[in-house]
Structure 1
């Protein structure tokens, strides 16, 4: 552990610490952020309303639209001159979501990422191949700072330029890699194509995040790169990567660093707090941030919490895997569909690979969904490397049967009808280091 005394705090001690910090942060934002002062006054509550953690649900949620409405620095709690660094996440409406950090915030950022890396198996002296993007995205610099705090050697490769990534991994021989799960799949696939076996690589651990992934993808990455991969969770608005991380011992839920980030899970429709183990929207209150403290920030991520003891000894609550996002959910003819559900179906069909894209169109008044999915290399060889046009698929009974098999499996499992288009190996979009766009919703175009 990076900070064993803090990572193993007794639950009651941790809860007392959270209560003290919650009172302080509510008073802090009321005094310094006009938005929060107005929000609380409108709700008829003030800092004095916080007597303990049980009072938190009385406060309104903060949502991403609030950050956009106060673009760029309207929610900052310190003068711009006291902000040591600014990051921003890409926005679908043109303007990015802007976040800021004081020097103290950057210290907290490095601290929680160092904890996360240690939980993932990293140790001082190890080398980190950091393939997260640098720049306005928090991933690259976030992992970089935490790794240096832990005492690692950092290779700031950033995203993209896959050929260079492959060369450096083989030449520098790092023990740890950090990137998105889809890019880890890409690297494993490229090594396989070049005849480089996993046991020839130096990698031992992979720290993967920034997009939802499944146990089947973990198995692919573990086997393809010869690693034990863990999930790192975070979002720019809360701090960036390092809000939580799986421990390498269990890999059964990510430990949230609760002395800095107070989590809740609430009902997506009503906003009411849900009991432990129930799936809902993950909500965070930052307890120690100075530049951009947030109360009850609605992440949109769907998961659950568990306080069951963990064999690693850490006492901080664990969150389950991200099952989807409320804003990534597709509604197709009244059926709720998440990309991770589609991925799980494809991973159960040996003739195809989990490289796919969902394209949704509106034909007249009806939604039509197309699932473009790659056939496996082995299946492609067996059918004689045929072009996979609709005409060829209809004429070849094996191709036609596979297309029907995928469509029926999706319908039976998820309840939505899709048109299946089969692609040759390598034709589906691949990650080049950033988040992979799995869904193309043309209804919004």
Structure 2
């Protein structure tokens, strides 16, 4: 059963709604955002040139640099008096990206999140423990409002405080846990330290997002917690979590709620559409936002789109799990590789734990990569033997040879209790 009938609408119905909403969005930004009006004028277009959703390719791209260049609120399309909430990105690579919401925007977000949670197997009346961070980060409050909108009960534990998280899972018999994939594994480790068998708790599913992860990592989470794990996707600039999610029936790609968010997949170098089913950069246009509409926003996330009807009955397009970011690409001795590809190879090795870090350096004119990996607690061989196995496996699968591989014991690599895990440390500009 779906949350909203639009989830099973025909392609013709969806396209007609997208076209109507795109025209309204273009008129809104043209009239209220000077920066967008200048971009349109440079391209020689006006709102009258946008008649259907197919005309979206006439419109300019928006990038994270554009948002930061217009810091804090020059891209907002409504007066400050109409704003009801402000959020912001972490700002780890510069100024934070400030995002705002009107009352209607918050309503769209609540509905998109409730729809997402329903598709992910959360039902009204369930007890949902929300371990995403509250505050300027969109995760905590985005999930919080969606859980309540769905009619489930929210336990607002927020990020960190792992001992309390475990107490709540046991004492309140939480049905669902919402957090990052790396934190799921950290919880599992801490539970084992305390002698808690999470698989014996009522917890039946986790909704994981905010970080790329691989299928082997998902399997590790499901086995460690005794749950089904579904992937949710979103980003602050577009709305927050709730842009798309895997359905619990198929778990075969994330349904994008394309009545609100129109997706394109483009070649990150040329900006041109890739072939059907091919990987490229996800570009999203918001169709219903008032405070901060986004026109063809380049997310930097790499994925594919699948328009086939899902076995769950939903017709909304599905995107693959994010394989990495266009700007996360590492070039080692002329070979292109994403960190997630390295992770997938390592997690497919039973002797390797799901923790690693990549350190990039520049020696002379060459980029070098050092890889640090934890061995699994059941591993009985030597460090040198496992290092050789990892080197051979990376060479065979990715044709990549790190300059140095170091195997360390369980718990050596730093864990993250709050926020997104950092796996790649780039020292090349130091």
Same fold, judged at TM 0.5 (above): yes
Structure 2 residue aligned with 1:434: 419
Q: Partners of 1:128 and 1:417 in 2: how far apart?
A: 43
TM-score calculated relative to the size of structure 2: 0.97
Q: Partners of 1:242 and 1:400 in 2: how far apart?
A: 44
Cα deviation, residue 12, structure 1: 0.8
Structure 1 residue aligned with 2:400: 416
**Cα deviations by residue, 1:96-127 (Å, 9 ceiling, x for unpaired):** 01100001100101100000100111111111
Conserved 8 A contact 2:383-2:408: no
Cα deviation, residue 2, structure 1: 5.3
Structure 1 residue aligned with 2:208: 208
Structure 2 residue aligned with 1:394: none
Is structure 2 residue 390 aligned with structure 1 residue 406? yes
How many residue pairs align between the two structures? 429
TM-score calculated relative to the size of structure 1: 0.94
Q: Partners of 1:119 and 1:308 in 2: how far apart?
A: 17
Unaligned runs of 5+ in 1: 384-397
Cα deviation, residue 364, structure 1: 2.4
Structure 2 residue aligned with 1:84: 84
Cα deviation, residue 297, structure 1: 0.5
Conserved 8 A contact 2:105-2:291: yes
Q: Which consecutive aligned stretches of 4+ in structure 1 deviate over 6 angstroms post-superposition?
A: none
Structure 2 residue aligned with 1:62: 62
SS in structure 2 opposite 1:409? helix
Structure 2 residue aligned with 1:444: 429
Structure 2 residue aligned with 1:189: 189
Structure 1 residue aligned with 2:288: 288
Cα deviation, residue 134, structure 1: 0.6
Matches within 5 A, 1:292-307: 292-307=292-307
**Cα deviations by residue, 1:356-384 (Å, 9 ceiling, x for unpaired):** 100111122222211110011112xx36x
Is structure 2 residue 177 aligned with structure 1 residue 177? yes
Q: Partners of 2:71 and 2:280 in 1: how far apart?
A: 28
Unaligned runs of 5+ in 2: none
SS in structure 1 opposite 2:31? helix
Structure 1 residue aligned with 2:155: 155
Conserved 8 A contact 2:214-2:344: yes
SS in structure 1 opposite 2:25? helix
Q: Partners of 1:93 and 1:255 in 2: how far apart?
A: 29
Cα deviation, residue 168, structure 1: 1.1
Q: Partners of 1:42 and 1:250 in 2: how far apart?
A: 45
Structure 2 residue aligned with 1:123: 123
Structure 2 residue aligned with 1:365: 365
Q: Partners of 1:245 and 1:367 in 2: how far apart?
A: 37
SS in structure 1 opposite 2:258? coil
Conserved 8 A contact 2:309-2:316: no
Q: Partners of 2:173 and 2:429 in 1: how far apart?
A: 45
**Cα deviations by residue, 1:234-266 (Å, 9 ceiling, x for unpaired):** 000000000000000000000000110011111
Conserved 8 A contact 1:192-1:224: no
Structure 1 residue aligned with 2:33: 33
Conserved 8 A contact 2:199-2:224: no
